[in-house]
């Protein structure tokens, strides 16, 4: 059942981007690998820019199609789920990425506007 509209997704994007920037510091990410902190902050900044550029009602510049946005979200989810396996992330560093990756996949799966999954 696809219950997330393009509008809901747009409203989720900005807080998620900000959370990806701020949460690593609040949670103390990077104890098992400095990449755990850096990847989240970098992804958060990129997500904020992507949202600004996406063609939906909260996009400021509307130059990237919503489908491309969903593809980028999917790639981020796969990277987030995979990175703790390929790098020595342990404890909170690993759990943070696995949980975020699964949540992103869930949002994409429930998105009415996209047919990626």
For position 114, what pLDDT does the model report? Answer: 67
Per-residue pLDDT tens, the chain, 117 aa: give them: 789 999 999 999 999 999 999 999 999 999 999 999 999 999 999 999 999 999 999 999 999 999 999 999 999 999 999 999 999 999 999 999 999 999 999 999 999 886 654
CA dist., res. 90 & res. 70, Å (int): 29
Question: Would you say the C-alpha torsion 86, 89, 93, 95 has a positive or negative sign?
Answer: positive
For position 112, what pLDDT does the model report? Answer: 86
Tokens describing residue 103:
């949540």
What are φ and ψ of residue 64, in 5° steps?
-110, 130
For position 1, what pLDDT does the model report? Answer: 76
What is the helix (H) or strand (E) element at residue 87, kind and residue range? none
**Contact between 100 and 80 (Cβ < 8 Å):** yes
Compute, in degrees rounded to 10, the torsion defined by CA atoms 86, 88, 94, 96. Answer: -90
CA dist., res. 37 & res. 69, Å (int): 23
CB atoms within 10 A of CB 107: 19
Give this prediction's pTM. Answer: 0.93
């Amino acid at each position: 059942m696809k219950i997330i509209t393009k509008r809901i997704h747009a409203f989720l994007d900005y807080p998620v981007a900000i959370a990806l920037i701020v949460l690593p510091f609040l949670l103390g990410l990077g104890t098992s690998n400095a990449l755990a902190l850096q990847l989240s902050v970098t992804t958060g900044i990129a997500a904020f820019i992507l949202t600004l550029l996406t063609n939906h009602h909260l996009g400021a510049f509307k130059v990237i199609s919503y489908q491309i946005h969903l593809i980028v979200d999917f790639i981020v989810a796969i990277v987030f789920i995979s990175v703790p396996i390929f790098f020595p992330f342990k404890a909170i560093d690993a759990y943070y990425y696995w949980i975020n990756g699964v949540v992103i996949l869930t949002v994409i799966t429930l998105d009415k506007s996209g047919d990626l999954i």
